[in-house]
Chains A and B, each alone.
Chain A
Amino acid sequence: MFAALILLPLAGAIVTWLIPYDRLRPKVLSLFALGHLGIVIHVLTFTPPESPGGWFHLDALGKIVLLSTSLLFLFCAVYSIGYLFYRRERSNRVLCIGLLICLAAASLVTITHHLGLMWVALETTTISMAPLIYFNRNARSIEATWKYLLICSVGVALALIGLYFLAYATIVAKVEPSLLLDDLMRDAGQLSSGWVHAAFVFLLVGFGSKMGLAPLHTWKPDAYGEAPGLVGAMLAGGLVNLAFLALLRVYQLCLATKEIAFFQNALVVMGLISMLFAAIFMARQADFKRMLAYSSVEHVGIMAVALGIGGKAIFGALFHILANGLTKGVLFLSSGNIHRSYNSKSTVQVRGALRRLPWSGGLFLAGFIAITGSPPFAPFISEFTIVSSAFMQGRMLVGALFLLSLAIIFIGMALTVLPMVMGDVPEDSEKTSYRDSLLTVGPPLVLLLMVFLLGVWIPQPLMDLLREGAALLEVPQ
């Protein structure tokens, strides 16, 4: 079953490569996405046994990320049928191939317990997304692609040296040299602390830059701003979670080596810096896609802080993987529609979206309400869990800074979003052929419904999964 998760999208990549028709390709993409989600649900219900040697092992943490990635991917794929119809001026072959290769690599990240293999897969996701950011083929998108490629590649290379340090620690400790998570955790007590410490620093910086934690986030606004909406959704709702999963693996190791306090403090500091950075740059953002990128910086910050606080907040962080991923889907897909309709990303030109595009405008507004942590949507549950856990553990300063940034971000985002959707469409606004249709509005609408449902009711199997995941990350007393 593990092989199917990876081979199916790869087969899809080959099929989309062979198809000569631009109209047909997104439909095939959706079929493969549906098949992938089917397999994911199958492996979630009947967990396959650990592979011999322990290389492949789907645990609760991997399951959560796998589920959220596959779900989001399906909606992006269906959306692409409608969206790419408006982008007929250029071939979508590279886009479809890149998305499917990325899905295959993403599945590999979630199912492997071999840190070296996880690294290879993570780097593959980085590279496979680069041509997609360049979809618009203009000067701005090439600048974004260059920054993304260089910063993420260097970042992930630093994570590799972190992994090498870990492997060297096993050699110094004269235990069996290995990069398998389970072996490392078993031998954690004997590893030389100097090397392990250095490894954690490099891994945090490496995966942190891939995830876009401030101050390593500089590529993010550019890449998210220039990429097409559905690529932005996959970056902000999918790739971010994969990097977070890598950090969770490091966290598990830290727990085993008893070096956790140091790693937790670093996470809290980086997380809070990310949130404050986002708060500063979110206000008066002249480009609504860049605003969404800063929102992504904020939310990786939230997840990092939650991981750093520990306790109940871990549950919040794991739930936030799903909540943030799906809500980012709503926001990026609906913003893609608005962008198509106005042919502009400038918040000066985009006004009165509710009047021009009642559905997309409404979805964008609802997505904004959800992502800023207002009830009754899912991000409210996760953020509330995290804040209350901070206060319950007596981390007053962390809790206060967390709430302060959330408040500033709410105001800053509202100042940008509300004028965009309210009011009248400017007279001189460009007329385009884009109209809301079932295929471009349906996927974000269903995503929003799911975000709403998760906010009022978490199904029991998901609840068990989240609890099981949180148990893996509990700090032993």
Chain B
Amino acid sequence: MITFADQLLVLVLLINFISLGTSRLMFSIRAVAAQGVILGVLPGLIHPFSWHLVGITAGIIAIKGLIIPLLLNRAVRSAEIKREVEPYLGYVPTLLLGALFTALSFGFASKLPLLAEHQNYMFVPASIATLMAGFLILTTRRKAISQVIGYLVLENGIFIFGLLLADAMPLMVEAGALLDLLVGTFVMGIVINHISREFSSLDTSRLTSLKEE
């Protein structure tokens, strides 16, 4: 089962690159939704069956794979924008940086004092690489929606690491973290709506009235 989990993690990494390389927001949202669904399947592959696991799997797929993408889709539609335009850093440089970070995270993870049974699997490097990809999207894009996508990718990266610790994380805490993510995205969606109404664009680089002279 573990090798299958590894293959899924490769898919997660590929999705990072899709989000890094595309300018189409709808496509990007769908990619992140797919990533969410994969993350929902993963715990079932590496942990023995329990009801706790079923709850978590259902929760993740529902929230990360369904509800959050729907919220974002609605925000995109009501703001009537389709593409990220003129990111602070072009798509090719971000993709190259993403590749560099992915390579570095594999190098870094091999140096970490991991448990013997986690040594040969990709959870830790995939987690760090996804985290970095999220950061890249967050910092290089102008549109508010892209920034939320970046935040979600970053969260997914953290989540992959969390997969290694199912025993230490009680259900209540995991559920709480998921719920916070959901409400947070919901509030961000509302704010995005207001940004587009107020500035008639979703360009966060227009948010510059609050600056120190």
Binding site for B on A (CB under 8 A): 114, 116-117, 119-120, 123-124, 126-127, 130-131, 134, 137-140, 142-147, 149-150, 153-154, 157, 160-161, 164, 167-168, 170-172, 177-179, 192, 194-195, 221-222, 225-226, 281, 286
| Interface SS majority for chain B | helix
Query: Residue of A at shortest CB range from B187?
Result: A130
Q: A127-B187, A194-B113 are in contact. Are A177 and B154 (CB under 8 A)?
A: no
Query: Residue of B at shortest CB range from A146?
Result: B191
Once the chains bind, are A120 and B158 in contact (CB under 8 Å)?
Answer: no
Once the chains bind, are A140 and B209 in contact (CB under 8 Å)?
Answer: yes
| Candidates A114, A154, A286; contact of B173 at CB < 8 Å | A114
Query: Residue of A at shortest CB range from B194?
Result: A142
Q: Does B1 belong to the interface (CB within 8 Å)?
A: no
CA distance A222 to B198 in the complex (A): 17
B167 contact set on A, CB distance < 8 A: 171, 177
Query: Residue of B at shortest CB range from A144?
Result: B210
A179 contact set on B, CB distance < 8 A: 168-169, 173
* In the complex, number of A-B residue pairs with CB atoms less than 8 Å apart: 119
Q: Does B199 belong to the interface (CB within 8 Å)?
A: yes
Q: What are 13 inter-chain pairs, A to B, with CB distance below 8 A?
A: A114-B173, A116-B169, A116-B173, A150-B151, A150-B188, A154-B138, A157-B151, A157-B154, A157-B155, A167-B169, A168-B164, A168-B168, A192-B113
Q: A117-B172, A120-B180 are in contact. Are A164 and B207 (CB under 8 A)?
A: no
CA distance A150 to B139 in the complex (A): 11
B152-206 with Cβ < 8 A to chain A: 154-155, 158, 161-162, 164-165, 167-170, 172-173, 176-177, 179-180, 183-184, 187-188, 190-191, 194-195, 198-199, 204
| Candidates B165, B180, B210; contact of A127 at CB < 8 Å | B180
> Which residue of B164, B172, B188, B191 has the most chain A CB atoms within 10 A of its CB atom?
B191
CA distance A149 to B181 in the complex (A): 12
| Candidates A137, A160, A194, A225; contact of B210 at CB < 8 Å | A225
CA distance A172 to B168 in the complex (A): 12
B212 contact set on A, CB distance < 8 A: 221, 281
| Candidates A127, A131, A138, A150; contact of B147 at CB < 8 Å | A150
> Which residue of A116, A134, A225, A281 has the most chain B CB atoms within 10 A of its CB atom?
A116
A161-B158, A179-B168 are known; give 5 further A-B pairs, CB within 8 A.
A116-B169, A117-B173, A144-B210, A167-B169, A177-B167
Once the chains bind, are A161 and B131 in contact (CB under 8 Å)?
Answer: yes
Query: Residue of A at shortest CB range from B148?
Result: A150
